[in-house]
Amino acid sequence: MAFFTRQFIRGFSSTAVRNVVIKQVTVIGGGQMGAGIAQVAASTGHSVTLVDTSEDILKKSVKGIEGSLKRVVKKKFADKPEAGEEFIQKVLQKVSISTDVGSAVQSSDLVLEAIVENLKIKQDLFGRLDKLAPAHTIFASNTSSLPITDIASPTSRLDRFGGLHFFNPVPMMKLVEVIATSSTSKETFESLMNFCKALGKTPVSCKDTPGFIVNRLLVPYMGEAIRLHERGHGSKEDIDIAMKLGAGYPMGPFELADYVGLDTMKFIIDGWCEKEPNNPLFQSSALLNKLVAEGKYGRKTGEGFYKYK
């Protein structure tokens, strides 16, 4: 009987039908998003291991985190610079770096992936990690446009897999979309919601549908603004002014598209269009395609709908 109970408990815990209090986090991908997520997690007392493909990239990520923390501290500790410096050191101590994903996930409660937006590469990564991470470890992806169900498919922990969609810049943006697939357990979902709250963010619950909530509304909105302009119904400048002053938006749709990146926007729309070719909201536009073909991706390349210095 005792043996049975032990086996039962072991089996029970190995499928992790319980809430996990997330303390140790492995963030895979030290780019724009991964570095931001690592910074916020470390700032709120979590131990973070940041993983990328090379030491050089990781050193740049840590430098970026330090620079961002300095900006935070300038405001938060304006009249106590020493306390600010202490805070920065304390946060940086919470972040370790690694190029060895296998060892990085060994004591992890959560593995959060923020690598390149490519389904096959994400699937390969999670397929490998599934064999390396402890049974209780929750997996999550920060994908903007790929179905979480597809990313999770090579793993045997579909109940411990969800989406955590952060927004850029992560330290500033309050929202996290928490995505539950049809297989995500209630306990996993609650653990992810609690983790977001512990980060000081506001989580919202989403289904695993294209664009979740924010991008599902924003991308077609930006697309329609481009088509409105293409039909000759308004200049870019007038449409931007109209939406800022008439709808109270902080940026117009063309400014926003340049900020998001026109390559990213096209990638998202083309992916959705492939799945739902007849959906008029998921169509690309000649102007968007032309700018992307010319390498004009928006702010990051110095030119998109507008020119930037």
Ligand X SMILES: NC(=O)c1ccc[n+]([C@@H]2O[C@H](COP(=O)([O-])OP(=O)(O)OC[C@H]3O[C@@H](n4cnc5c(N)ncnc54)[C@H](O)[C@@H]3O)[C@@H](O)[C@H]2O)c1
Residues making up the binding site for CoA: 68, 75, 144
| Interaction of residue 243 with ligand X, rule CB under 6 A | no
Nearer Cβ to ligand X, position 16 or 65? 65
Strands, E assignment, the chain: 24-28, 47-51, 95-98, 110-113, 138-141, 161-166, 175-180, 202-207
Helices (H), 160-231: 186-198, 214-230
Decide: 140 and 192 in contact? Cβ < 8 Å: yes
C-alpha pair distances (Å), 259 with each of 24, 107, 122, 254, 299: 32, 37, 25, 9, 6
Name the segment binding ligand X (CB under 6 A); options: 23-31, 83-91, 183-191, 287-295: 23-31
Angle at 251 between CA 250 and CA 254, to 5 degrees: 165
Lookup result for tokens 């955590």 = 164
Catalytic, 96? Answer: no
Known binding-site positions for NAD(+): 29-34, 52, 117, 122, 144, 168, 300
Q: Provide, rounded to whole angstroms, the least separation between the CB of residue 56 and ligand X.
A: 10
Catalytic, 165? Answer: yes
| Interaction of residue 37 with ligand X, rule CB under 6 A | no
Catalytic, 86? Answer: no
Nearer Cβ to ligand X, position 84 or 195? 195
C-alpha pair distances (Å), 36 with each of 173, 263, 270: 10, 21, 27
Which of 113, 142, 145, 177 is the catalytic position?
A: 177
| Interaction of residue 103 with ligand X, rule CB under 6 A | no
Residue 303 DSSP symbol: B
Q: Provide, rounded to whole angstroms, the least separation between the CB of residue 172 and ligand X.
A: 12
Catalytic, 230? Answer: no
Nearer Cβ to ligand X, position 126 or 254? 126
Count, residues near ligand X per rule CB under 6 A? 23
- Of 20, 33, 158, 179, the residue at the interface with ligand X (CB under 6 A) is 33
Task: Round to whole Å and give the CA distance between 194 and 189.
Answer: 9
Which of 178, 181, 173 has the alpha carbon at shortest distance from 205?
A: 178
Q: Give the x/- contact pattern for ligand X in 149-168, rule: CB under 6 A.
A: ----------------xx-x
Which of 111, 116, 163, 119 has the alpha carbon at shortest distance from 137?
A: 111
- Of 26, 143, 191, 285, the residue at the interface with ligand X (CB under 6 A) is 143
Nearer Cβ to ligand X, position 34 or 298? 34
- Of 26, 34, 104, 225, the residue at the interface with ligand X (CB under 6 A) is 34
Which of 144, 145, 284, 285 is the catalytic position?
A: 144
Adjacent-strand bridge partners of 179? 163, 206
Decide: 218 and 253 in contact? Cβ < 8 Å: no
Nearer Cβ to ligand X, position 17 or 173? 173
Nearer Cβ to ligand X, position 84 or 162? 162
| Interaction of residue 133 with ligand X, rule CB under 6 A | no
Helices (H), 105-213: 119-132, 148-152, 186-198
Q: Provide, rounded to whole angstroms, the least separation between the CB of residue 101 and ligand X.
A: 7
Task: Round to whole Å and give the CA distance between 236 and 194.
Answer: 41
Catalytic residues: 144, 165, 177, 215
Chain residues that interact with ligand X, rule: CB under 6 A: 28-34, 51-53, 57, 114-117, 121, 125, 142-144, 165-166, 168
